[in-house]
Amino acid sequence: MNPDTLHFDADGLIPGIVQSRSGEVRMVGWLNSEALRHTLDTGFVTFWSRSRQALWVKGETSGNRLKLVQIRPDCDADALLILAEPEGPSCHRGTDSCFDPSPEGQPGEGAWPATLPWLGRLEDLLRARKATADPAGSYTQKLFAQGVDRIAKKVVEEAGEVVIAAKNDDREAFLGEAADLLFHLDLLLVERGASLLDVVDVLLQRHSGRPGGTV
């Protein structure tokens, strides 16, 4: 990206909205041309601190860095969407996002709306459970300890339950079985070192008309 094509404000700054690959908005910061170049050169999101008047590598002290994936300017080239892989919480409060979880501004777990980015949080939790797989641990830890064959068997079982539920006029039961299937499918993906985002990439390829596309 060429900073010369962007429209910085009178102070030489441009806002950057940081979003994870799962779609969750993590934070907003300001960049000048030097911060943008540093971000592109190092691969880690760097802002310009207006209070300190200095470059600020996000997570340089805490270790909660933002690994750059992609930067996209908006249509007027006066704002940036920064796609990044967070290496920990992004807010100084220790929360993943700087934005409060409820529309009233009252922080608290469980207040997040049911949006697709929440699946990214679930997948992070599954990875943590895989790292601590234990035959005597939680349900998820036990499945990871039993390995891919057992997890794959659960996916087959849950898929069958979804088909059965789909034939009955009980929406709540159907959605419950679908949730069980999605959970165990994601668990299998994590076990195989993959992600729901990898599946999304495949769907995108099929939809975009690239070679091999079928959608």
* Burial tier of 177 (Cβ tally within 10 Å: 0-12, 13-18, 19+): buried
Residue of higher predicted confidence among 206 and 9:
9
Instruction: Specify the DSSP class assigned to residue 72.
Output: E
pLDDT band of 209, cuts 50, 70, 90: low
Helix (H) or strand (E) holding 199: helix 196-207
Instruction: Specify the DSSP class assigned to residue 168.
Output: S
Chain position carrying tokens 């985002």: 197
Neighbouring C-beta atoms of residue 7, cutoff 10 Å: 11
The angle that helices 171-191 and 118-131 make with each other, rounded to 10 degrees, is: 50
Amino acid identity for residue 10 in this structure = A
CB-hemisphere CA count at 13 Å for 175?
3
pLDDT band of 101, cuts 50, 70, 90: low
Give dist(CA 19, CA 85) in Å, integer: 8
Q: Find, among 43, 7, 26, 34, the residue nearest to 89 by Cα.
A: 26
Average pLDDT over residues 152-181: 97
Determine contact, residues 81/28, Cβ cutoff 8 Å: no
pLDDT digits (tens, 9 = 90+) for 34-86: 999 999 999 999 999 999 999 999 999 999 999 999 999 999 999 999 999 99
pTM above 0.85, yes or no: no
| pLDDT value, residue 50 | 93
Contacts of 49 (CB under 8 A, 6+ apart): 55, 56
What structural domains and CATH numbers belong to the chain?
3-86 (3.10.20.810), 118-207 (1.10.287.1080)
pLDDT band of 87, cuts 50, 70, 90: very high
Determine contact, residues 131/33, Cβ cutoff 8 Å: no
